[in-house]
Amino acid sequence: MKTKVFIDGHEGTTGLRIHERLSTRQDIELVPIADDVRKDPDAIRACMKQADIAFLCLPDGAAAEAVTLAEGCDVRLIDTSTGRRVAPGWIYGFPELSPQQAAAIAKSDRVGNPGCHASGAISILQPLTEAGIVPADYPVTAFSLTGYSGGGKKMIAQYEGDKGQDLYAPRQYGLVQQHKHLPEIVTICHLTQEPVFTPIVDDYYSGMEVMIPFFSHLLAKKVTAHDVWQVLASHYDGCPFVHVLPFGEDKGGFIAANDMSGYDDMEILVTGNDQRIMVTSLFDNLGKGASGAAIQNMNLMMGIDPTTGLNLT
């Protein structure tokens, strides 16, 4: 029997990618909604009633309204907006936090899909805070370089149209330190203060690189770069979605932010030296950073192999 899936907001970047991926799966039946009623509450609720699982690929306000529309419907929700990622009653959709997290996602009716920048930061920080290496009050600094598809249809049109000279260069944003992914990083990694977070968008379509540097003398334990690598390698051992590269791997001295474009898994590298340790997470902002993660969570909720229908390295 096929699982019935409704995508509320399938015309956006994430929703469109999910729709494309699921449309070819034999175990999924997509619940359609006509374009002329795709914002009509009654039509949306009718689709919710038909579905086993619904993806909310909407702006925060519209996603909140969709959650209300789903009340009383026997439908399980995966929300890709920021509003419910760490809200009470919702499970954070990063299964690699722990085996218990994956099990909680599988049982949940309400899953908040992680943000793209947050996915990279959390993949680095959470195992290290859990191991007692990074203290809760560590002054975290995170740099994140993303392709322009992360800005959605409007930004894609800017970069792929007649663009000004400024769009040919990397552009830093989030200048007032209020990026919407900060709350989930703080909550999931049990930090006592928000990181200094520097996101940068560049003139390539997809792929993301999140790098967090650590001064070893500020860490809670005396560790080397190899010790940090060992903690991460142990945490993700056997995980099909996160691969910690061998210690000493530096990709020839240059890390390209689009290395994982087109894939749904992550690579983590530990570089630097024993005084200044650098940890980098590489992934596709549209893959493990968005639609790939959402489908991974759906697979878990369906009780099937989480890699089903996904493109792994």
Q: Which residues are catalytic?
A: 116
Closest CA to 186 of 96, 118, 278: 118
Q: Which residues are paired to 283 by β-bridges?
A: 208
Helices (H), 161-302: 182-189, 225-235, 292-302
3-class secondary-structure state, position 197: strand
89-127 per-residue burial string, b: 16 or more CB within 10 A, e: under 16:
ebbbbbbbbeeebbebbbebebbbbbbbbbbbbbbbbbb
- And the tokens for 263? 């894939």
For residue 89, CA distances in Å to 84, 105, 111, 128 come to 9, 12, 9, 26
- Measure the CA–CA gap between 9 and 78, rounded to whole angstroms: 12
Q: Which residues contact 126 (CB under 8 A, 6 or more apart)?
A: 97, 188, 189
- Measure the CA–CA gap between 13 and 224, rounded to whole angstroms: 41
Place of tokens 């902002």: 285
Please answer whether residues 17 and 304 qualify as being in contact, where contact means their C-beta atoms are separated by less than 8 angstroms: no
In 141-184, the DSSP E strands lie at 141-147, 171-172
Place of tokens 């950073």: 289
